[in-house]
């Protein structure tokens, strides 16, 4: 190719590039300016689906950036957005949102038989607030100590929730018979009390219980109920399951150190299936000794705050 032809080709190529550059800018400018300017809708307090619907109608997009605890708005609703509501933006703009997880949750501590002052400290340490206090006669909690609470121990509640207490006023007058708490105790103790107070006690056995024989599993009416008139008590005790009496094994466990009180639950798995042998709130460092009666090869599952943390083979 001659030198003149080469120069001519180069000039045409350069001219073509210039034309393409200006054509590209023109197309992009036209595309940008063809998008309308719209106002960002107010998404505060709206659900994710509502927010998507509002943004779609304005030809805007949505991106969820995260979730945060917020007691003022229900879980799943928008607590923050960017750009803010009312700002003018071009169609196609992405609006970033943060959703509420609701109020921060906590476990309600077990306050039974604690002095009022200790109970109040435990309540506040759990991020809760002390509510109303009332009193009634009781034979299961010392006078001046907590006999019942609402919400119940182990309940999951939002932080800053109210915990109401009933305080023991001590034992009642002699003509009133309140039932002691027999659950977890030997049936012999319940029998002696029933005989002393002229109470008719009906006893049935549960042969599948994991507890040692003769331990009270449930009672009706419940502890602190007045049976001055009926004088009847129904008890369910652990049986032998058709075998000779045995002394139940004991499962030992120490609650991990550090942090707040933990909801601890043990379940026993053996040839008869899976059943709960312990469930309660305990402070860090607590040493637990839980009786159980396995059938064949068995293991215990350990749950902390509802999460399975360990599984141990037992005999």
Cα separation, 141 vs 147, in Å, equals: 5
The domain tally of the chain equals 4
Pair 267, 291 in one domain: yes
- Tell whether 27 is covered by a domain: no
C-beta of residue 105 within 8 angstroms of C-beta of residue 157 = yes
b/e sequence 38-63, b meaning 16+ C-beta within 10 Å: bebbebeebeeeebbebbeeeebebe
- Tell whether 45 is covered by a domain: yes
Pair 96, 109 in one domain: no
Is the Cα dihedral 115, 119, 121, 122 positive or negative?
A: positive
pLDDT at 243: 40
What is the domain-level CATH number for residue 135? 3.30.10.20
**What are the average pLDDT values for consecutive 10-residue runs of the chain, which has 315 residues?**
56 57 55 77 92 92 91 87 94 94 84 94 93 95 95 86 96 92 88 90 81 85 91 86 51 84 88 84 83 85 86 86
pLDDT at 275: 87
C-beta of residue 149 within 8 angstroms of C-beta of residue 111 = yes
3-state SS string over the chain?
A: CCHHHHHHHHHHHHHHHHHHHHHHHHHHHHHHHHCCEEECCCCCCCEHHHHHHHHHHCCCEEEEEEEECCCCCCCCEEEEEECCCCCEEECCCEEEEEEECCCCEEECCCCCCCEHHHHHHHHHHCCCEEEEEEEECCCCCCCCEEEEEECCCCCEEECCCEEEEEEECCCCCCCCCECCCCCCCEHHHHHHHHHHCCCEEEEEEECCCCCCCCEEEEEECCCCCECCCCCEEEEEEECCCCCCCCCCEEEEEECCCCCCCEEEEEEEEECCEEEEEEEEEECCCCEEEEEECCCCCEEEEEEECCEEEEEEEEC
pTM of the predicted protein model: 0.52
Which range of residues forms the domain containing residue 266?
Answer: 249-314
Pair 85, 120 in one domain: no
Pair 218, 256 in one domain: no
What is the domain-level CATH number for residue 283? 2.60.40.2560
Which of 49, 83, 100 represents a domain boundary (last residue)? Answer: 100
Pair 109, 164 in one domain: yes
- Tell whether 120 is covered by a domain: yes
């Amino acid at each position: 190719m001659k030198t003149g032809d080469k120069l001519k080709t180069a000039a045409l190529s350069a001219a073509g590039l210039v034309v393409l550059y200006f054509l590209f800018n023109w197309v992009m400018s036209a595309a940008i300016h063809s998008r309308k300017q719209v106002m960002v809708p107010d998404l505060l307090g709206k659900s994710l689906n509502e927010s998507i619907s509002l943004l779609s109608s304005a030809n805007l997009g949505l991106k969820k950036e995260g979730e945060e605890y917020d007691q003022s708005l229900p879980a799943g609703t928008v607590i923050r957005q960017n750009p803010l509501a009312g700002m003018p933006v071009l169609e196609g703009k992405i609006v970033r949102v943060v959703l509420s997880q609701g109020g921060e949750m906590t476990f309600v501590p077990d306050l039974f038989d604690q002095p009022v002052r200790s109970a109040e400290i435990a309540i506040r340490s759990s991020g809760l607030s002390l509510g109303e206090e009332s009193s009634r006669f009781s034979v299961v909690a010392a006078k001046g100590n907590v006999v019942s609470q609402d919400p119940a121990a182990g309940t999951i509640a939002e932080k800053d929730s109210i915990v109401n207490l009933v305080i023991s006023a001590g034992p009642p007058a002699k003509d009133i018979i309140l039932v002691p708490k027999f659950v977890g105790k030997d049936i012999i103790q319940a029998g002696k009390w029933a005989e002393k107070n002229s109470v008719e006690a009906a006893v049935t056995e549960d042969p599948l219980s994991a507890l040692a024989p003769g331990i009270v599993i449930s009672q009706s009416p419940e502890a602190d109920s007045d049976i001055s008139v009926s004088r009847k008590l129904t008890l369910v005790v652990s049986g032998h399951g058709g075998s000779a009496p045995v002394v139940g094994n004991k499962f030992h466990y120490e609650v991990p150190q550090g942090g707040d009180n933990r909801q601890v639950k043990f379940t026993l798995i053996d040839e008869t299936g899976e059943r709960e042998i312990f469930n309660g709130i305990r402070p860090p460092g607590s040493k637990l000794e839980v009786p159980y009666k396995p059938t064949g090869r068995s293991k215990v599952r350990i749950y902390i705050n509802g999460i399975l943390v360990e599984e141990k083979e037992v005999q």
